[in-house]
Amino acid sequence: MRKIFILLLLITTGLTACSSQTDEEKALEALNKGLSEVTKLFHTSTTTGSEKDPAVPILNPEIPNKEAAKDALMVYFSEELTNEILDHYLSTETKGRYNLLNATKEGSVVPYFGYNNLKPNTEKYFIEKEQSGYKVTTPNQGFFTVTKTDGKFLITNYNK
């Protein structure tokens, strides 16, 4: 019985030690999750195309409308930045049940963050501590501000 207790204690201690992240790590994780959410919503789905009717980019069909997309983004982004992202991507047009995205004449979506790889390698970040969070600079992409609000990190700004 004592061996089981010691084993459980070691496992619990190990799990606690592994799960403790610094605020810097939490800010980077929030940034990566937010960027992944943008990819999931706006860079993964198109309608089925044909020769007469080419495929067009659409909001992820698992998300029924703009309000649901806003809710999904606001887990990671401030309301102001969320609205900017939605305005950039979503058009007012629909095709059947699909919400169409703003696209170029060639039918591609221009990434809001100015690059296609929306989940960059965290080792390429330069991160600076600021009063209310972190400024995260990525090579060639400008910088993000990740702010701690109510114990949670949100992406509050992006400058290209």
pTM (2 d.p.):
0.82
**End-to-end CA, the chain:** 60
pLDDT at 13 over 60: no
- CATH code at 154? 3.10.450
Residue 104 covered by a domain: yes
Q: What is the pLDDT of residues 20-44, one digit of tens each?
A: 889 999 998 999 899 889 999 999 9
Write down the pLDDT at residue 128.
92
Host domain of residue 36: 23-159
Can you list the positions of beta strands (E) in the chain? 90-95, 98-101, 126-130, 133-138, 142-149, 152-159
Kindly tell me if the per-residue pLDDT of 78 is higher than 50.
yes
Two structure tokens written together for 114: 């100015």
- Number of structural domains in the chain: 1
Q: Is the dihedral of CA 96, 99, 104, 107 positive or negative?
A: negative
C-alpha dihedral (136, 15, 149, 78), degrees to nearest 10: 60
Residue-level pLDDT at 12: 46
**Does some domain include residue 72?**
yes
Q: Does residue 13 form part of some domain?
A: no
